Copies of this chain bind each other. A is one copy, B any other.
């Protein structure tokens, strides 16, 4: 393979010029970046590479912030719950919060902006029944109802940027100043952000790409009184709140938001919640503001002849790369962290930017790069996991972060990344921006739709959670599957119908969540449209508790389509006859290992003899299919990510759409292998996703088949 160059970004640092040149050469890097805690020295900036510079808009300027403490960012917090045992109750509302991070807002009138909630009745407490002791941070409720629980929803000022706080505390930075986040919605801060950037661009002529990290509002990250994480929502709009924002919202939308609209019982409108109209309005309001203000900054960057890149994280809230207003920002690029296939697609699918970049793992930090550890293990896992998705929709660039000097000490790692970067460029060039072959078009259906593309079931940026991995596996599987994937919301279906080109709808998640849909399923129009879609030949794949909302004698509102329902206890008196697995079934034709449904779902039973049971154990169904008109419903109890489960999902998709005879095109029989074809460039790739050599039958676009052997993790390119 001829040595190639480009599309790779490296961190660099001081006193590392020659090694930087060497690494640039080996990895073919054409861009250099700074990292948290490092700055690029001038001699490095002079190298033949683009220079990325991290830029913080709304923190890191304490000289300004300290003079404008009234423009600090704000948040609504919910106090702990206090049970009244007599008719007065005291709520020490700051208890459990970190006084160095947040301080109660006593500037604005508490009676106007705070709310005391009776959580037992669900009603706010009358304003004249409570008072605030500002010295003690205590709310006293009078005329309390004994044994009701009370909370205070109170406004705070945010005194410390949570990312800097986390690094500060973790790395013991001692008396290093706490970076105060200010709110560009406020007049002085808005001006400052603009003026500072103008000057900064002048002061940093070598910077080619301004890497915004990020814009204005950090995702919600609240610490407890022991300075440990208390609440983290990577999607949370918590830090966007301010009195000014709420007043402007009221002006624009004609109604006033209550604190409870933000606090939401202490759930703070997690993406797992079926969103309220108020919260959707509020998100829209924030997005419009962020797009406008960020657009102004990006315009300044362009005026200075530089590119603007946004880091997808930290202060990304309100940018919503899949939202309506994102293109208005005018960004050149987005860079984000790649944990696997779904997080890669989350970046690479972002519309309206010139290029995307993924920061791969491991970060060059001492927690991985220490003597005796092999950083290649994490690198290989990360690369192979993400590569599947790259084959579908490549990032335009890849990169690494941390201390290059650390990585340099691990020659095997340097060798491995050299292969990775070469392989990345080979993939990129072979695909050449063309659309890969997609056997079918799949819509993932939930409350969020396109806005949260590739973002379902994510807590704290796709960490493993017991409650999510059995659903998130579906996204991870799809991220590298030869299917066209779109994200559809219930409102999309209600407002515009099911798009004609959709072959299969997937609905996955736990009952009551925004991903399953909760009470959205009580909408007759929604269920009848999906029934019609399947009846006329579409496919419906339900994972976990699809269409779950107990009504009319059904828990799954599409039980008629799926052929299964969940026994809640109410129909135990009805005999359940159907418990036999089908001896052979398309869905498990190539299954060699036992099934793994992850957390699964209990008490699923078949409604009739028509239900084709694919797996029955422990007195319940975990896999089944059911004919419905010309289409089918397929039920899967859970789908943790694995190559076998990816294959199961692929089979479910084809089977549900009644197109199982079309599955074996650009297809590898061995579940550890996949085939990606690019008709526009007349190329195809046979990929071994595993680290071991594999033998597989490979089917071309006409269904012709040949046996092939692949080395561990090999990609075999061919021409049509």
Residue numbers of A with Cβ under 8 A of B are: 81, 83, 85, 119-122, 145-149, 220, 224, 228-233, 236, 265-268, 270, 272-273, 459-460, 465-468, 509-510, 512-513, 524, 527-529, 531-532, 535, 550-554, 560, 567-575, 577, 599, 602-603, 618-620, 629
Q: Tell me, in angstroms, the Cα distance from A466 to B618 when the chains sit together.
A: 9
Contacts of A228 in B (CB 8 A): 575, 577
Q: Tell me, in angstroms, the Cα distance from A634 to B627 when the chains sit together.
A: 47
Determine which of B535, B552, B577 lies in contact with A120 in the assembled complex, contact meaning CB atoms within 8 Å: B552
Contacts of A509 in B (CB 8 A): 569
| A603, B573: Cβ atoms closer than 8 Å | no
Contacts of A273 in B (CB 8 A): 570
Q: List 14 A-B contacts (CB under 8 A).
A: A83-B531, A119-B552, A119-B553, A119-B554, A147-B532, A148-B524, A228-B577, A265-B570, A270-B570, A270-B572, A272-B572, A466-B618, A466-B619, A512-B550
A552-B465 contact, Cβ under 8 Å, with A572-B459, A575-B232: no
A569-B229 contact, Cβ under 8 Å, with A120-B552, A532-B147, A552-B119: no
Determine which of B120, B524, B535 lies in contact with A527 in the assembled complex, contact meaning CB atoms within 8 Å: B120
Determine which of B83, B551, B574 lies in contact with A230 in the assembled complex, contact meaning CB atoms within 8 Å: B574
Q: Tell me, in angstroms, the Cα distance from A465 to B574 when the chains sit together.
A: 12
Contacts of A120 in B (CB 8 A): 524, 527-528, 552
| B465, A572: Cβ atoms closer than 8 Å | yes
A629-B85 contact, Cβ under 8 Å, with A553-B265, A619-B466: yes
Chain B, Cβ-Cβ closest to A233: B573
| B83, A560: Cβ atoms closer than 8 Å | yes
A570-B147 contact, Cβ under 8 Å, with A83-B560, A602-B599: no
| A573, B460: Cβ atoms closer than 8 Å | yes
Beyond A268-B573, A272-B569, 15 additional contacts (C-beta under 8 Å) are A119-B554, A121-B524, A146-B532, A147-B531, A231-B573, A236-B573, A265-B552, A270-B569, A270-B572, A272-B570, A459-B573, A466-B618, A466-B619, A467-B569, A468-B572
Secondary structure of the A side of the interface? loop
Q: Tell me, in angstroms, the Cα distance from A511 to B233 when the chains sit together.
A: 28
- Least Cβ distance of A229 to chain B in Å? 5
A148-B528 contact, Cβ under 8 Å, with A230-B575, A266-B553, A573-B232: yes
Contacts of A119 in B (CB 8 A): 552-554
Q: Tell me, in angstroms, the Cα distance from A529 to B572 when the chains sit together.
A: 32
Contacts of A85 in B (CB 8 A): 535, 629
Determine which of B236, B554, B571 lies in contact with A270 in the assembled complex, contact meaning CB atoms within 8 Å: B571
Residue in A120, A145, A551 whose Cβ sees the most chain B Cβ within 10 Å: A120
Q: Tell me, in angstroms, the Cα distance from A39 to B120 when the chains sit together.
A: 63
Contacts of A466 in B (CB 8 A): 603, 618-620
- Least Cβ distance of A240 to chain B in Å? 16
Chain B, Cβ-Cβ closest to A228: B575
Q: Tell me, in angstroms, the Cα distance from A137 to B232 when the chains sit together.
A: 60
| A568, B513: Cβ atoms closer than 8 Å | yes
Contacts of A233 in B (CB 8 A): 573
Contacts of A266 in B (CB 8 A): 553, 571, 574
Q: Tell me, in angstroms, the Cα distance from A111 to B81 when the chains sit together.
A: 54
Residue in A220, A232, A568, A603 whose Cβ sees the most chain B Cβ within 10 Å: A568
Chain B, Cβ-Cβ closest to A533: B147
| A229, B83: Cβ atoms closer than 8 Å | no
Q: Tell me, in angstroms, the Cα distance from A161 to B318 when the chains sit together.
A: 68
- Least Cβ distance of A588 to chain B in Å? 24
Contacts of A230 in B (CB 8 A): 574-575
| A510, B574: Cβ atoms closer than 8 Å | no
Chain B, Cβ-Cβ closest to A236: B573
Q: Tell me, in angstroms, the Cα distance from A599 to B569 when the chains sit together.
A: 13
- Least Cβ distance of A135 to chain B in Å? 26
Q: Tell me, in angstroms, the Cα distance from A147 to B629 when the chains sit together.
A: 11
- Least Cβ distance of A325 to chain B in Å? 25
Q: Tell me, in angstroms, the Cα distance from A571 to B236 when the chains sit together.
A: 12
Contacts of A83 in B (CB 8 A): 531, 560
Q: Tell me, in angstroms, the Cα distance from A573 to B266 when the chains sit together.
A: 10
- Least Cβ distance of A717 to chain B in Å? 42
Q: Tell me, in angstroms, the Cα distance from A233 to B550 when the chains sit together.
A: 21
Contacts of A121 in B (CB 8 A): 524
| B512, A569: Cβ atoms closer than 8 Å | yes
Q: Tell me, in angstroms, the Cα distance from A418 to B67 when the chains sit together.
A: 96
- Least Cβ distance of A344 to chain B in Å? 23
Contacts of A620 in B (CB 8 A): 466
Contacts of A602 in B (CB 8 A): 599
| B512, A467: Cβ atoms closer than 8 Å | no
Give 6 closest A-B pairs by Cβ, nearest first.
A265-B553, A147-B528, A147-B531, A272-B569, A233-B573, A119-B552
Contacts of A568 in B (CB 8 A): 272, 510, 512-513
Chain B, Cβ-Cβ closest to A515: B569
| B148, A569: Cβ atoms closer than 8 Å | no
Contacts of A460 in B (CB 8 A): 573
Contacts of A459 in B (CB 8 A): 572-573
Chain B, Cβ-Cβ closest to A117: B552
Contacts of A532 in B (CB 8 A): 146-147
Q: Tell me, in angstroms, the Cα distance from A270 to B568 when the chains sit together.
A: 12
Q: Tell me, in angstroms, the Cα distance from A232 to B570 when the chains sit together.
A: 12
Residue in A145, A228, A535, A571 whose Cβ sees the most chain B Cβ within 10 Å: A571
| B467, A603: Cβ atoms closer than 8 Å | yes
Chain B, Cβ-Cβ closest to A219: B573
Chain B, Cβ-Cβ closest to A618: B466
Chain B, Cβ-Cβ closest to A574: B231
| B147, A513: Cβ atoms closer than 8 Å | no
Q: Tell me, in angstroms, the Cα distance from A551 to B512 when the chains sit together.
A: 12
Chain B, Cβ-Cβ closest to A468: B572
Contacts of A122 in B (CB 8 A): 551-552
Contacts of A575 in B (CB 8 A): 224, 228-232
Chain B, Cβ-Cβ closest to A603: B467
Q: Tell me, in angstroms, the Cα distance from A83 to B561 when the chains sit together.
A: 10
Q: Tell me, in angstroms, the Cα distance from A548 to B567 when the chains sit together.
A: 17
Q: Tell me, in angstroms, the Cα distance from A24 to B272 when the chains sit together.
A: 69
| B467, A149: Cβ atoms closer than 8 Å | no
Q: Tell me, in angstroms, the Cα distance from A225 to B441 when the chains sit together.
A: 42
Contacts of A148 in B (CB 8 A): 524, 528
Q: Tell me, in angstroms, the Cα distance from A423 to B575 when the chains sit together.
A: 40
| B553, A267: Cβ atoms closer than 8 Å | yes
- Least Cβ distance of A560 to chain B in Å? 6
